[in-house]
Chain A
Amino acid sequence: MAYVDSAKSIPLSRATSLFRGKTTFLLGSLFLSCFIILAIGGEAFAPNPPNQIDLLHRLSAPSLTYPLGTDHLGRCILSRLMTGTALSLGTALTTAGLILAIALPVGLLSALCKGWVDAVLMRIADIFLAFPMLVFALAIIGYLGASLTSAVIGVALAWWPGLARLVRTLTLEAASKEYVLASRQCGQKPLNIIAKHILPQILPPLLVVLSLEMAGLLLVLSSLSFLGLGAQPPAAEWGAMLNEARPFFAERPSVVLAPGIVIILAVLSFNLVGEGIRFQLDKRKPYRW
Chain B
Amino acid sequence: MTIEARHLSIAYGSNQVLSEVSLTLHPSRTTGLVGRSGCGKSTLAKAMTGIIPAPQETLFHNHQIFFPDLSKTGDIIHYMWQDPLAALSPFLSALDLICEPLKAIHKLPKAERQRKARDLLHMVGLEDACAAKRPHQLSGGQCQRIALARALAVKPKFLVLDEPLSALDLVTQEQITALLRKVRAEMNMGLLIISHDLQTLAKLADDIAVMEGGRIVEHKETQEFFATPEHPLSRRFVEISKYSAPAA
Q: Does B16 contact A (CB under 8 A)?
A: no
Contact with A along B101-117 (1 / 0, CB 8 A): 10011000000000000
B89: contacting residue among A179, A185, A187, A190, CB under 8 A? A179
Question: Known: A178-B81, A182-B81. Is A187-B87 also a contact (CB below 8 A)?
Answer: no
Residues of chain A in range 174-203 having any CB-CB distance to chain B below 8 Å: 177-190, 192, 196-197, 200
B154 engages A182 (CB within 8 Å): no
A187: contacting residue among B51, B90, B105, CB under 8 A? B105
A187 engages B86 (CB within 8 Å): no
What's the dominant secondary structure at chain A's contact region? Answer: helix
What A residues does B105 contact at CB under 8 A? 186-187
Q: Which of A178, A187, A192 has the largest count of B CB atoms less than 10 A from its CB?
A: A187
What B residues does A182 contact at CB under 8 A? 81, 87-89, 147, 150
Q: How large is the interface on B (under 10, 10 to 19, 20 to 34, 35 or more residues)?
A: 20 to 34
Least CB distance, A31 to chain B, in whole angstroms: 32
B75 engages A183 (CB within 8 Å): no
Contact with A along B53-81 (1 / 0, CB 8 A): 00000000000000000110011001101
Least CB distance, A105 to chain B, in whole angstroms: 21
Q: Does B12 contact A (CB under 8 A)?
A: no
A196 engages B92 (CB within 8 Å): yes
A177 engages B100 (CB within 8 Å): no
A187 engages B71 (CB within 8 Å): yes
Closest to A184 in B: B70
A181: contacting residue among B70, B100, B101, B154, CB under 8 A? B70
Least CB distance, B153 to chain A, in whole angstroms: 8
State the CA gap A200–B86 with chains docked (Å). Answer: 16
Q: Does B243 contact A (CB under 8 A)?
A: no
Least CB distance, A111 to chain B, in whole angstroms: 16
State the CA gap A185–B104 with chains docked (Å). Answer: 10
B104 engages A177 (CB within 8 Å): no
Question: Known: A185-B79, A187-B104. Is A177-B150 also a contact (CB below 8 A)?
Answer: no
B104 engages A192 (CB within 8 Å): yes
Question: Known: A184-B70, A184-B71. Is A178-B104 also a contact (CB below 8 A)?
Answer: no
Q: Which of A178, A185, A197 has the largest count of B CB atoms less than 10 A from its CB?
A: A185
B104 engages A188 (CB within 8 Å): yes
Least CB distance, A209 to chain B, in whole angstroms: 21
State the CA gap A216–B101 with chains docked (Å). Answer: 45
A178: contacting residue among B74, B75, B83, B100, CB under 8 A? B83
Question: Known: A178-B81, A179-B86, A182-B81. Is A187-B91 also a contact (CB below 8 A)?
Answer: no
What B residues does A189 contact at CB under 8 A? 104
What B residues does A185 contact at CB under 8 A? 49, 70-71, 74, 78-79, 154
Question: Known: A178-B83, A178-B86, A181-B70. Is A200-B104 also a contact (CB below 8 A)?
Answer: no
Least CB distance, A197 to chain B, in whole angstroms: 6
Question: Known: A178-B83, A188-B100, A192-B104. Is A183-B89 also a contact (CB below 8 A)?
Answer: yes
What A residues does B71 contact at CB under 8 A? 184-185, 187-188, 190
A187 engages B75 (CB within 8 Å): yes
B154 engages A186 (CB within 8 Å): yes
A187 engages B101 (CB within 8 Å): yes
Contact with B along A158-178 (1 / 0, CB 8 A): 000000000000000000011
Least CB distance, A170 to chain B, in whole angstroms: 15
What A residues does B92 contact at CB under 8 A? 196
A200 engages B91 (CB within 8 Å): yes
Least CB distance, A271 to chain B, in whole angstroms: 29
What A residues does B154 contact at CB under 8 A? 185-187
State the CA gap A182–B101 with chains docked (Å). Answer: 10
Least CB distance, B143 to chain A, in whole angstroms: 11
State the CA gap A180–B75 with chains docked (Å). Answer: 16
Closest to B86 in A: A178
Closest to B70 in A: A184
What B residues does A184 contact at CB under 8 A? 70-71, 74
A179 engages B70 (CB within 8 Å): no
Closest 9 CB pairs of A and B: A187-B104, A185-B74, A186-B101, A187-B105, A184-B70, A178-B86, A179-B89, A178-B87, A182-B87
8 contacts between A and B (CB under 8 A): A178-B86, A181-B70, A182-B87, A182-B150, A186-B104, A186-B105, A187-B71, A197-B91
Which residues of A are in contact with B by a Cβ distance under 8 Å? 177-190, 192, 196-197, 200
